[in-house]
Amino acid sequence: MTPGFAKKIIRNIIPYHTFIETIWEKENKYIGTEFEWKYDFGSNVKIGIIYDLAQYHRHYIAACIDLKKSYEVFEIHDTKWIGNFMKSQCQLFLVWPTIVNTLWKKLFDDRLYFLTQKLGKIIFPCYESLWLYENKSRVRDFCLINGIKIPQTEIFYRKNEALEYIERSKIPVVLKLDQAAASLGVWIVKSRSQARQMVRAIFHKGLVVRRGDPRDRRWGQVIFQEYLPNVEEWRITRVGDNFFCRFKHKKGDFHSGSGVLSWGKPDQELLDYVKIITDTHNLKSVAVDLFVQPETKEVWVNEIQAMFGERKIDDPQHQGNMGRYQFVNGQWQFEHGYFYTNACANLRLEYALESLDKRHRVSLQSSTDACARPNPQNPCSL
* DSSP-derived secondary structure for 358-372: HHHHHHHH-TTSGGG
What average pLDDT does range 20-47 have in this prediction?
A: 95
Lowest mean pLDDT among 121-130, 192-201, 247-256: 247-256
Task: Give the integer Cα–Cα distance in Å for 382 and 350.
Answer: 12
- List the domains of the chain with CATH numbers: 4-121 (no CATH), 152-226 (3.30.1490.20), 232-339 (3.30.470.20)
225 vs 6, which has greater pLDDT?
A: 225
Task: Report CA-CA distances (Å) from 193 to 99, 166, 187, 198, 265.
Answer: 31, 9, 14, 9, 41
Q: For the stretch 200-220, what's the b/e string if a residue is b when 16 or more beta carbons lie within 10 angstroms of its beta carbon?
A: eebbeeebbbeebbeebbbee
pLDDT of the residue at 16: 67
Asked if pLDDT for residue 324 goes beyond 80, the answer is yes
Burial of 199 (0-12, 13-18, 19+ CB in 10 A): buried
Q: Is the pLDDT at 54 greater than 70, yes or no?
A: yes
Q: What percent of the chain has pLDDT over 90?
A: 74
Report in angstroms the alpha-carbon separations of 298 from 82, 244, 294: 47, 21, 8
* Count of other CB atoms within 10 angstroms of residue 143: 19
Range of lowest pLDDT (102-116, 155-169, 179-193): 179-193
Q: Indicate the pLDDT class of residue 372, thresholds 50, 70 and 90.
A: very low
Residue 4 Ramachandran class (φ > 0 left, ψ -120 to 50 alpha, else beta): alpha
Residue 213 pLDDT class (50, 70, 90 cuts): confident
| The predicted structure's pLDDT at residue 183 | 78
- Residue 223 — pLDDT band, cuts 50, 70, 90? very high
Between CA 345 and CA 341 the distance in angstroms is 7
- Average pLDDT over the chain reads 90
What phi and psi values does residue 302 have, to the nearest 5 degrees?
Answer: -100, -40
Q: How far is CA 122 from the centre of its chain?
A: 19
Phi first, then psi, for residue 287 (nearest 5°) are -115, 125
pTM of the model: 0.90
pLDDT of 255 over the 50 cut: no
Question: pLDDT at position 370, please?
Answer: 42
- Report pLDDT for 376: 44
Query: Is pLDDT of 19 > 50?
Result: yes
